[in-house]
Structures are given as C-alpha cells and as structure tokens.
Structure 1
Amino acid sequence: MTTLLSPEIDVIGELTERCDRCGAAAKLEVTLISGGELAFCGHHANRHHADIVRVASKIRIEDGFSWAGK
C-alpha cells in the first residue's frame, strides 16, 4: 500500500517501548495506516526509514534521535 500523504510526525521526550525487531530501547514508534503500532530502535528505524514512511499514518520520534526519514 502506498500513500501520497506524509505521516504526522511528533517529537516526544522519551519512549518506553522496546524495538519489535531486536528488543533494544525504541527511538521511534509508528502507527500503521492499516492499523496497529510498531516500535524501532535507532538502527532499525534508520535502516527501514523508506518503508516506515510509506506505511505510517503517525510517527513518534524520541527527542534527540536523528532519523534518516525526517
């Protein structure tokens, strides 16, 4: 699924979730267009930035994290 709209991006103080890929501290949380949420550590968020933007309706980024998709 692709979208022509950019996801809403919010910067928040601190995330408490763990990465759904590796279990490290999450730096980015995604609300999916199709429903549901995923969390990513900095490594996985940057590695998959293009896919994240394509499937996200909302993205929350931890303050101070430099994300490749922003």
Structure 2
Amino acid sequence: MTPTLTPSGTSAPLAGERCDRCSAAAKVRAVLPGGGDLVFCQHHANRYREQLEALAADIDETSLN
C-alpha cells in the first residue's frame, strides 16, 4: 500500500479514514514539516513514532472522531 499525502493544514477528524500502512481505522495523524500528512492506526503510529518525531512531524491524536 502506498502512503497518501494530503495538503498540510488539514486537521479534520479521522472518521472514515484508513491507516496508510494497513488500511485499519486511522487513529493518529502525523503532519509533516514539509507539507502533507500521514494517518495511522494506533499500532503503526506507535511503531513509527520515533522516526516521525525525528522528522519533526506534529503527531495529532486529538482528532479521533
């Protein structure tokens, strides 16, 4: 599965969105500093958290709807 980048500034609720890695229900949005974002299920968010933080991504777990 190919990760999907969307324009930054979209902190819309994750209702109906699917994880960019496994297509499970999205629980976490990682907004990348260069623009765009990725959404992950909790499992993949935990797995990639260190790498995302190293990229200075803003990790948003509050838009869970």
Please classify the TM superposition score into its range, dividing by the shorter chain length: 0.5 to 0.7
Count residues in correspondence: 50
5+ long unaligned stretches in structure 2? 1-12
Q: What SS does the corresponding residue of 1:39 show, helix, strand or coil?
A: strand
Match for residue 28 of structure 1? 28
After TM superposition, the score normalised by the length of structure 1 is 0.60
Indicate the structure (1 or 2) with the bigger Cα radius of gyration: 1
Give the alignment's Cα RMSD to 1 decimal. Answer: 2.0
Identity of counterpart residues, as a percentage?
49
Partner Cα distance (2:62, 2:42) in 1: 10
Q: What SS does the corresponding residue of 1:33 show, helix, strand or coil?
A: coil
The ranges of structure 1 where at least 4 consecutive aligned residues each deviate by more than 2 angstroms after the TM superposition are none
5+ long unaligned stretches in structure 1? 1-13, 64-70
